[in-house]
Amino acid sequence: MEQQLVALTGNEAVAYAFKQARPHVASAFPITPQTEMMHKFAEFVANGEVDTEMILVESEHSAMSAAVGASAAGSRVITATSSAGFALMWEIVYIAASLRLPICMALVNRALSGNINIHNDHSDSMGGRDAGWIHLHSENAQEAYDNGVMSFRISEHPDVQLPTMVCYDGFIISHTADSLYMLDDADAATFVGERTPKYALLDVENPITVGPLDLTDYYFEHKVSQMEAEQRALPIIDQVSAEYGELTGRRYEHFESYKMDDAECCIVILGSSAGTTKAMIDEYREKGIKVGLMKIRTFRPFPNELIADALSGMKAIAVLDKSASFGGFGGPVFTEVRSALYQTGCRAPVHNWIYGLGGRDYDLHQAAHVIESIDKIARGEEMETINLLGVRL
Amino acid sequence: MATNLKKLSKNPELLTGGHRACAGCTGSNILRQIMLTAGRDTVVGGATGCMEVVTTIFPYTAWKVPFIHNAFENSAATISGVETAYRAMKKRGDLPVERENMNFIAFGGDGGTYDIGFQSLSGAMERGHNMLYVCYDNEAYMNTGIQRSSATPLGAHTSTAPAGTVKQGKEQNRKDLTKIMVAHNIPYVAQTTPYHWRDLATKVEKALAVDGPAFLNVLMPCTVGWHFEQADAMQIAKQAVESNFWPLFEVENGQYKINKKPKEREPIEGWLKQQGRFKHLFKPGNEGILEEIQSHIDTEWEKLLKLEAMSNGE
């Protein structure tokens, strides 16, 4: 398949992915750092490159509300948000998933208020981890684009019917020019296909009621059907990714394993920080330290068995969280990974580093510190379970 | 507009009976009348509230047209999404069933419209969606237990602004939402009641015929929250108009028209006396509140007459 090598920011790359999927409706409200994605998309609409109808709402709450209406109507829908905008959508984020509505959203990760901060961490999407969406994390513009294209196939799959958020780090990915390969519009359109909903509000000949009052006698069963849909999404994400891999040569798994084959210890991480970590892993490999990296792409549904299997041979595991769970025992990625490992025989120490809150730079020194620490732990040294990285104490 | 009872009675019932509204509820009556006019090619969105709760308890639904309930504060935004999807899909020939025209109706109670859903409503109206928003205004949050809203009139007893030994119910006048909607410069805004069925049907017809957003504010006497005999609901609606408490008027492209001018307006006391929520106002010492209510009604009526006169170029 011929692909074009282009230089784009992450926001532009995702705007192209969304344009190529030809959504019927885009509803959005501006918030930094997501804005440029919708600017680019609006340009496509203004220049007739895509005939999407835009709903330029008065808040993120209405952005998600209109997306719910448009998706229930039977159309293909996109939206985008970050941080406080996602928080304002909160109630409707849950409703979108509960009503089993495919919606593709660019979630450009930014720290939650307060205090107000426009830079990257994962506190926004992590707060929505129990909302019933599919979360796909991206390391760079290429991955954000690829996840963007694939998100429609995953969300709209008849066995899934769940909304997807394509997560990528604010500014670090969203605003940084990067080189990536893009499909031709026609090839992307063929891959994505058309949405064929089983039920649609606009089918007035077969009227349905969406979102009824659901009490003690049925609500629980409906929640179970959501849980099951999330589980069914795991193999479908893989199936779509395999098909996409054949088309593009870029095959995505639920997580990427970097130098894990002979690794004795490893770092588990999400998003753009993986690149910095890989660079440092290369240096420590040269020093003879057998360290690897697991970069999680599918955070929801959480591929716990696959992750546990991949980690069960480790002597020590470092999990890096770019968000805090206040009052909890470690960050959300740590909690998930450690819990997944419990079902295996593996009792390797799992340690957590919380880093980068509010966009605090994650640099090579911090990566080196984690590698050295986890190597020491692998060799029997005792250390705190929950740690902080790059903060003044 | 050629609305008549004979024609309406032949239209299909799109809100079936057997739903769980209270005996004497005028809300289901309002929706039924609206649907008789709107017809089958209509998508309805309802805010959380009495009418949503009583018509859609899973696995039952009273709706014979497509219906969506999303949340409390967003029925306008939700229907704006449905309406936009219709335009986008029609343009590409992607509609599940071909329809040259469809109606999109969002409704909410006064809580979902005047208060928590106000921003969503204002946004949808400003964006110019081809949709009708209907507020069924029963002047308090009835679904959650008769709490005050910004539509509750001065002096009314509610569970959050009760009449007690030192306070006499709500201490503020109601918000004039209909005029706020007029200020959105949308093509059609009107007020009516379920008693005035011909007026209601005509207004729904007009509202659905305009190209763009329309807003209809319908007074909904509530036997539970207003405390009156179930059989008296329609009479209460009638008297609300005859006392000028709730004038029937419409604003087409900015031009005011009063649809009914009582020959001699009834003093408001008669209307208030029939409702338990105003009972305390007739205790000695509360005469001032009664006077304030009457004076507010008369002032607002005078303003309305002037707006109509201005519209007529007088």
Cβ contact B40–A209 (<8 Å): no
Report residue B5's pLDDT band, with 50, 70 and 90 as the boundaries: confident
What CA–CA distance (Å, rounded) separates B247 from B176?
A: 12
What CA–CA distance (Å, rounded) separates A264 from A363?
A: 23
Other C-beta atoms closer than 10 Å to the C-beta of A362 total: 26
Please name the member of A24, A205, A210 whose beta carbon is closest to the beta carbon of B68: A210
> Closest by alpha carbon to B69, among B121, B28, B18, B106?
B106
Ramachandran class of B99: left when φ > 0, alpha when ψ lies in -120 to 50, beta otherwise = beta
Angle at A63 between CA A207 and CA A184, to 5 degrees: 90
Please name the member of A25, A62, A75 whose beta carbon is closest to the beta carbon of B74: A62
What CA–CA distance (Å, rounded) separates A23 from B148?
A: 42
Q: What is the least distance, in Å, from the CA of B296 to any CA of chain A?
A: 33
Query: A83-98 and A219-248 are packed helices; what angle lies between their axes, rounded to 10 degrees?
Result: 110
What CA–CA distance (Å, rounded) separates A379 from A371?
A: 12
Please name the member of B57, B74, B82 whose beta carbon is closest to the beta carbon of A73: B82
Nearby residues of A365 by Cβ (< 8 Å), 6 or more positions away: none
Nearest Cα residue in chain A from B124: A57
Q: What is the least distance, in Å, from the CA of B194 to any CA of chain A?
A: 25
CATH topology of domain B13-311: Rossmann fold (3.40.50)
What is the H or E stretch that residue B105 is in? strand B103-109
HSE toward the beta carbon, residue B210, CA cutoff 13 A: 24
Q: Which residues of chain A are at the B interface, by a Cβ-Cβ cutoff of 8 Å?
A: 24-25, 27, 51-53, 55-59, 61-62, 65-75, 77, 91-92, 95, 194, 200-205, 207-215, 218
Is the pTM for the entire model greater than 0.90? yes
Kindly list the residues from chain B whose CB atom is less than 8 angstroms away from the CB atom of residue A51: 88, 91-92
Tokens of A167: 């997560």
What CA–CA distance (Å, rounded) separates B229 from B236?
A: 10
Report residue B2's pLDDT band, with 50, 70 and 90 as the boundaries: low
- Domain layout of chain B by residue ranges: 13-311
> Closest by alpha carbon to A275, among A57, A5, A10?
A10
Kindly list the residues from chain B whose CB atom is less than 8 angstroms away from the CB atom of residue A91: 71
Cα B207 to Cα B43, B105, B214, B251, distances in angstroms:
15, 10, 5, 11
Q: Is A251 helix (H, G, I), strand (E, B) or coil?
A: coil
What CA–CA distance (Å, rounded) separates A291 from A259?
A: 7
What CA–CA distance (Å, rounded) separates B171 from A92?
A: 34
Tokens of B269: 């006391």
What CA–CA distance (Å, rounded) separates B41 from A196?
A: 21
Cα A187 to Cα A2, A60, A164, B43, distances in angstroms:
9, 32, 22, 35
> Closest by alpha carbon to A164, among A185, A182, A190, A137?
A137
Burial class (CB in 10 A: 0-12, 13-18, 19+), B132: buried
Angle at B157 between CA B153 and CA B159, to 5 degrees: 115
Residues A99/A103/A108/A111 CA torsion (nearest 10 deg)? -10
Nearest Cα residue in chain B from A65: B78
Residue-by-residue pLDDT tens, chain A, 393 positions:
899 999 999 999 999 999 999 999 999 999 999 999 999 999 999 999 999 999 999 999 999 999 999 999 999 999 999 999 999 999 999 999 999 999 999 999 999 999 999 999 999 999 999 999 999 999 999 999 999 999 999 999 999 999 999 999 999 999 999 999 999 999 999 999 999 999 999 999 999 999 999 999 999 999 999 999 999 999 999 999 999 999 999 999 999 999 999 999 999 999 999 999 999 999 999 999 999 999 999 999 999 999 999 999 999 999 999 999 999 999 999 999 999 999 999 999 999 999 999 999 999 999 999 999 999 999 999 999 999 999 998
Where would I find the H helices in chain B? 5-10, 27-38, 50-55, 75-92, 110, 118-127, 177-182, 197-209, 223-226, 233-242, 268-273, 287-311
Could you read off the pLDDT of B232-259 as tens digits, one per residue? Answer: 999 999 999 999 999 999 999 999 999 9
Whether A3-248 shares its CATH topology with A255-389 is answered yes
ipTM, two decimals: 0.97
CATH topology of domain A3-248: Rossmann fold (3.40.50)
Cα B52 to Cα A159, B47, B106, B158, distances in angstroms:
29, 7, 11, 22
The answer as to CATH 3.40.50.920 being correct for domain A255-389 is yes
Q: Are the C-beta atoms of residues A334 and A319 closer than 8 Å to each other?
A: yes
Q: Are the C-beta atoms of residues A147 and A13 closer than 8 Å to each other?
A: no
Cβ contact B40–A204 (<8 Å): yes
